[in-house]
Structures are given as C-alpha cells and as structure tokens.
A and B are shown apart, each in its own frame.
Chain A
C-alpha cells in the first residue's frame, strides 16, 4: 500500500497529465480529513459541505498549480483554511452551529473496549474547551497526523510556536482528564 507521500505524487502526476480521476483519489485520501478540518473551523456541517464543494471545483480549475505544489496535503489544507475563514468573515449568522466540535469525534472501531462513555464525553469536552488556535494544532497533529513542520507551513507560524501550542493544549487536556488516570 503506497504511503502518504507516494499517494500525493500519484495524484499530482494525474493532475499534471490532465487526468480527472485525480479528483476521486483526492477525495478518497483527503476528502474526509478536509471535511473534518472544515467542520472544526466552521462548526457547521452544511457550511463545511459548501466549502468542500467549492474547494474541489477550485482544485479542478487550478489543477496545474495543485500538481506542482511542494506538499499536496498542506496545499489542500491551506486552500480549505483560507476558504473557511473567508466564509467565516462573510457569514452573518451561525446556522446549524455545532454546540461542540467534539460531537464530531467518535471512537475508532477497535478502540471501543478501551474507553467508557464518561471518559469519551470528558475527552470530547477537553478537546472542545481548548482555545481555537490550540485546538487547530491538536486537530492537525492528532487527527490529521501532520508534522509540526507541515502545521507551521499551513498556519504560517514557526515550528516552535506550533509545538508550544500543542504542548499547552496537551497539558490542559491532561489536567481536565486527571480523574481518568491521565497524569
């Protein structure tokens, strides 16, 4: 099975060869993650769907640029981020706003035995109570499995800033989940 880097290269080659099947591959590998990231910023499923739709249209039009980008994943997330913040600026009222972003988090199939309901609720609450800039780093680091280098490039901050935001976030979450054996 090809790794992330290889997948990106395959997709980028398809974009440069003007092969529309690249779109499906992008959706397959990044669609769900981009959607999750958009929900984390917009806190609205319908807005995230709208932005994801526009994002893919943009990607199709600018396929040459996408094909030549240095890091496909960071490039796609950067477009998503810009579009999401653009929508936040335009959005006059919060419609269908999620009360907590963490509602969008669920347990992986193989993890059910390791968690109890209370702990899951506490973990969701801990993620949700983080300040926006820390939560964004946690989402990108833990759920998107990005490196600090990639996060720094995406958020246009230094690697140290990204790492320290992450550290502070982890400390806060540990503190909130002390009762469940996290020290």
Chain B
C-alpha cells in the first residue's frame, strides 16, 4: 500500500517547550507592556550606560593627566640640569680667564667634567690643549 508522506508527517508535532517558559516569557512581556515599568527599566539601562561612559572618560582623563604631569616633571628636571650645567660652565670659564688663560682655552676647560679634571688627568688635558 502506498503511503502519502505529507499526510504521515502531519502525525508528527513539535515537542512542547518547558512549562515554566510561559510564565517567564509572559512576566517579562507584561513588564514591557506597562509604560512605567518599561520606561523605568529603559531609563535605568540608559543611566547605567551613561555612568559607564562617564567612568571610562574619567579614567582616561586621569591616565592622560598623570602621564602629562610625569612628562612635565622630567622636562623641568632636564631643563634645570641643563641650566645648572651652563651656569657652572660659564662661571668656571670666567674664573680661568681671570687666571690669565685665553678665552678659548677657558671655555674648553670649563666644558670638561669635574671628574676628568683630576690631577691624574692633567697631563692628558695639557696634551689636549697643547700646553
């Protein structure tokens, strides 16, 4: 006997979803139905999103500020160091000039670091200066 597949398939049905699903779905749908509840949850969601954005912005600004401050400090220190070095050098050069050394030699010696200006290095320096 020939059977009709379309008719036979109608004997099949989709298995029912879990019974508790109905309560859950309808409870949530009813909340969305009520404009006050729906609006409230929507506002709360928007507030949370706004709060998260503000917090992220605040953190970002804080990080940028900290980086800027540390960078500024480094620059200030470097400038101060440079200024100090320059001032020391000119003072040394003036002193050497007062001792009767030529201006170019005074400047050259004043540029040499204090460590190098030890007695043991005098011979090297005099060689450099062709003294």
Contact = CB atoms under 8 A, between A and B. Distances in A.
Given A57-B32, A61-B38, A182-B3, A111 B17 contact: no
A32 B17 CA distance: 7
Interface stretch (A20-28, A67-75, A81-89, A153-161): A20-28
B118 to A, nearest CB: 70
Given A32-B17, A49-B21, A182-B3, A57 B29 contact: yes
B5 A143 contact: no
Given A170-B6, A183-B2, A143 B28 contact: no
A70 to B, nearest CB: 22
A104 interface: yes
A183 B32 CA distance: 51
B8 interface: yes
Interface residues of A, number: 43
B17 A24 contact: no
Nearest to B21: A49
B9 A114 contact: no
B14 interface: yes
B13 to A, nearest CB: 5
Contacts of B38: 60-61
B14 A181 contact: no
A181 B3 contact: yes
A108 interface: yes
Contacts of B4: 182
Contact of A49 (B1, B5, B17): B17
Nearest to B9: A142
Contacts of B2: 181-183
A106 B12 CA distance: 5
A111 B11 contact: yes
Contact of B5 (A39, A57, A104, A182): A182
Nearest to A105: B12
Interface of A: 20, 23-24, 27, 31-33, 35-36, 39, 45, 48-49, 52-53, 56-61, 63, 104-108, 111, 114-115, 123, 127, 138, 142-143, 170, 173-174, 177, 180-183
Interface of B: 1-6, 8-18, 21-22, 24-26, 28-34, 38
